[in-house]
A and B are shown apart, each in its own frame.
Chain A
Amino acid sequence: MPTSKNELLQGTLDLLILRTLASGDMHGWGISQRLQQISNDVLQVNQGSLYPALYRLEQQGWVASAWGDSDNNRRAKFYSLTKAGRKQLAEETASWERMSAAVARVLSHA
């Protein structure tokens, strides 16, 4: 169970990144844009914390990176989900769903 605010946010960010990459490889800026789009601008990811999270995920072996060309032929580093990453995503998603269901129950019944 995460104990500090930072840890909670870190874990959540990791989960979001993994989920975003599950639907396709993309580079850092792309991930931040996608998060912003899908969450209807609610989630404004601090771009400064995005890359440390990506690097951490890569160190732990859940994403892999490779240099490639973007749509407009700009060189960028693309991230992709590894097999271990997929497994981690599944676990974290399940865990998140369990937790949010529990929170919802408490809020409606307490």
Chain B
Amino acid sequence: MPDFSWLRRFIGSLRTRAFEREMSAEFVAHLEFEVEALVAHGWAAADARIEARRRFGSVAQAKDLCRDSWGIRAVGAVAQDLRHGARVFAKNPGSPILIVLTLAIGIGMTTAIFSAVHAVLLQPLPYMNGEALVEIQQLRAGTTSGNLGLSLPELEDYRRQLSSLDALVEYHQMWFNLIEGTHASRVMTGVVSSAFFDVIGIKPILGRTFVPEDELPGAVPVLVVSHSYWQRALGADPLVVGRAVEMNDTVHHIVGVLPAVPQFPQDTEQNDVYMPVTACPFHARAAEANDRRMRIVSAIGRIRSGRTLSEVQQELSALSGTLATTFPAAYPAGFTANALSVRQQLATRARPTLTTLMIASCCVLLLVCANVGNLMLSRLVPREHELKMRAALGASSSRLVRQLLLEAATLALAGGALGLALAALGRGMLTSYVVRLTPRATEIAIDRTVVFFAAAVTVLTALGFGLLPAWRMTRTGASLEKRPTSRFLLVPQVAISFVLLGISLQMTRHLITVVTSDAGFTSDHVLTAQLDLDWTRYSTDEARREFFQDLLARLDRTPEARRAALSLTFPLNDGGGVWRTGLLAEDETDSDMPQVDLRLASPGYFAAVGMTVLRGRSFTTGDLSDSRVVLVNQSVALHRFGGDPIGRRVSLDAGRSWNTIVGIVNDVKQYGLDSPPVEEVYLPFGRYAPLSATLLVPTAKDPGTVLRQIEDTIRSIDPRQPLSRVRTLDDVRDSTVAPVRMTTTLVTWLAAIALFISAAGVAGAVWVSVNQRFREIGIRLALGESPARVAFRVAGSGLGAVVVGLVVGLPFALAANRFEAAGAGFQSVGPGTMSLSVMAILTVAGVACMAPARRAASISPTAALRVE
């Protein structure tokens, strides 16, 4: 028959109060019976009571044994242990708080890094066919330009002849002006084959993706919008399917909305909308579509089931070799075609950083365990007496071990929960750091796996530092007082903190230098915006020139936007194309034409960005389309002309035409606040009529109102011309600094964490030493040593280990600084910064030693001597 005694025990254990009442009543009744019987035998009442009790034996013990039988003991014991633990904590709250914080930091950091590793490296791609996706890249050895792309005939050849792929789709990115109602905006567009989304395996959340019919000539133009664009610009409208917008002078209908998945391929800007290839103007131009050398698209393929990536690579190499011999003009020397797994692509750049971070945080976690173990043991030493007494009074050693494990488990649970919360809070910062390495960073989340990992780590650390004191307790022979302090652990901790602190200070100094550096221009209150003209409507130079002239004239009449200027780009602009050409001075004998950057500037440009004309004159409205004047910057003046080039003539087209230099302007840092200025030559804006230009407007007022006026002005010229990338120069300048700032912040956080853990370690080690040398300190105090000296001695013992750590860490810190200086261009730290580091560490360690030192000084000699 099945034994349900366990169930009875459990239920019985729940009815504790009733049980206790009944048990007491039963024993009382028993004793009464005994007394009656004794009295009946002739005993006196009082004596009978005593005899009855004596015959029964220990009531308390009997009750305990009964409780054990009943199963109450287990539950009650745990509650009792918890209460006892709470009392212990309350008496000495500092230590458990420190333990929980240290645990939280270690567990939190490891969990956060793991969430990134999980999302980027471990999790499969969020596309259905993610594992089978490959990208075909073509490279040319000897150039650094990266993927050349494929031409349309090549794509067709690969598609037909690579049998190991069951699909090959194309992709490229263009921008277009999208007009909806009266509102025009610029959108990045992914131009894709109709099977693109099916091959990748993305299902739309609204509507549909493309079907083969969309690709047929004469098909109705359709668009699929990305999730972020749908939310940002279409108001997350659930009825957006079917909406009509105008692009490229054609009406397109929105047929679907994509889910929020990372976009692949990686490009500088995320796509807002997608269109089928037939709508792309490139395909329409037969000359380009059939030219094998026009490599303009990327290709994504899906491996046929049952085939492998290496088979694809083999086929691809063979095929491209054949094509190279058939069409030698299109295939230069050193040409290779590679098939790369998409999943690997998205992980390559991130893998080394994430792996390093994971290893580092595991090391940190080990240090945390060791530290916390130390702290737990230090808390145990003063209680050793109490625990030994309880053991003598009958508490089983398993009970004591259970209690210690329970304490450790409670601390670990608190630390783990706090750590998980910290990881969740830091997710945003982590994502923005990792997104520079891979677009999969957006998948970083605190999901079930991560929580499970945090729980596992918590359990492991609890076992790690909980078993240590528990194990010591069961070894009744060895006294805790004789245990050597693990002070040797302190040395590497302090050394690591020293190195990290040094690097952090170095980076911070660099950051400050960069942020406050003089970039050669002022960025206060200057609004910038990009104007990309629609090339179907502004296909002639004349049309474009007219637009821009008109724009400047009208803005001139607007009071707030009077000093507007036009140029191709502006200092620190990212994402602008750069024009370069060789500069030939008139009477230069050597034909070497070093490259200079070409800039266009309308007359108001230099004033708008706060540049100075050092000599000569700026452009005037008179210098328009046919004047042959240029301005050069100081670098050109110094390097090419040794000082004064005004009046000299230069050619930008290898001698075919000549321009006169009429002025010198100062250098600006075009390519980053920590990059040196380059040689630049400025031409009047009207000389070339670009398709894209930048509008700059210095504003005294709130940029919002000025922006509206600018938009109105543009609309009055051409209502279908949008303004895009509206930013202030200040914003641009800030965003250039952002990557450096982020890395500096990360390293500083790491240094702070290492410092905190070291401080906890120092505190723990000194505590243990104080508790071990309790008696010795008491004797010293009794013999007349001043408490201050005792305190200093105690603090000194802790600081001694710190100094050793600093000495050990010094060569590493110096080496790291030199390495950073060489590799990353930071200035190497001088002795000033080093001593700042050392002072910081000594101060923190000193503070950490304060509490135990104070305790040591306040030991009452009599109490110390009494403990025996």
What is the interface of chain A, defined by CB distance below 8 A to chain B?
Answer: 27-30, 33, 46-49, 51-53, 55-56, 59-61, 67, 70, 72, 74-77, 84
Contact = CB atoms under 8 A, between A and B. Distances in A.
A59 B22 CA distance: 15
Interface stretch (B30-38, B253-261, B397-405): B30-38
A74 B29 contact: yes
B5 A52 contact: no
Given A47-B55, A52-B65, A52-B69, A28 B30 contact: yes
22 contacts: A27-B26, A27-B29, A27-B30, A27-B33, A28-B26, A29-B33, A47-B55, A47-B56, A47-B57, A48-B56, A48-B58, A48-B59, A51-B62, A52-B62, A52-B66, A55-B70, A59-B12, A59-B71, A60-B3, A74-B32, A76-B29, A77-B22
A72 B36 CA distance: 11
A70 B30 CA distance: 11
B749 interface: no
The 8 closest A-B pairs by CB, nearest first: A48-B57, A52-B65, A29-B33, A55-B69, A56-B69, A48-B62, A76-B29, A29-B30
B19 to A, nearest CB: 10
A29 B62 contact: no
A84 B3 CA distance: 11
Most A C-beta atoms less than 10 A away, residue of B30, B56, B58, B59:
B30
Contacts of B69: 52-53, 55-56, 59
Given A48-B58, A74-B29, A74-B33, A60 B5 contact: yes
A94 B626 CA distance: 125
Contact of B30 (A46, A47, A56, A67): A47
B68 interface: yes
A67 B33 CA distance: 15
A74 B26 CA distance: 11
Interface residues of B, number: 32
A27 B30 CA distance: 8
Contacts of B34: 29
Q: Is the interface of A mostly helix, strand, loop or mixed?
A: helix
Q: Is the interface of B mostly helix, strand, loop or mixed?
A: helix
Contacts of A33: 37
A74 B37 CA distance: 14
Nearest to B3: A60
Contacts of A53: 69
Contacts of A28: 26, 30
Nearest to A84: B1
Contacts of A70: 33
Nearest to A61: B5
B8 A59 contact: yes
Contacts of A74: 29, 32-33
Contacts of A67: 22
Contact of B29 (A55, A59, A60, A75): A75
B70 A59 contact: yes
Contacts of A84: 1
Contacts of B4: 61
B26 A76 contact: yes
Given A29-B34, A59-B8, A61-B4, A48 B61 contact: yes
Contacts of B56: 47-48
A75 B21 CA distance: 13
B385 interface: no
Nearest to A27: B29
Nearest to A57: B69
A60 B12 CA distance: 12
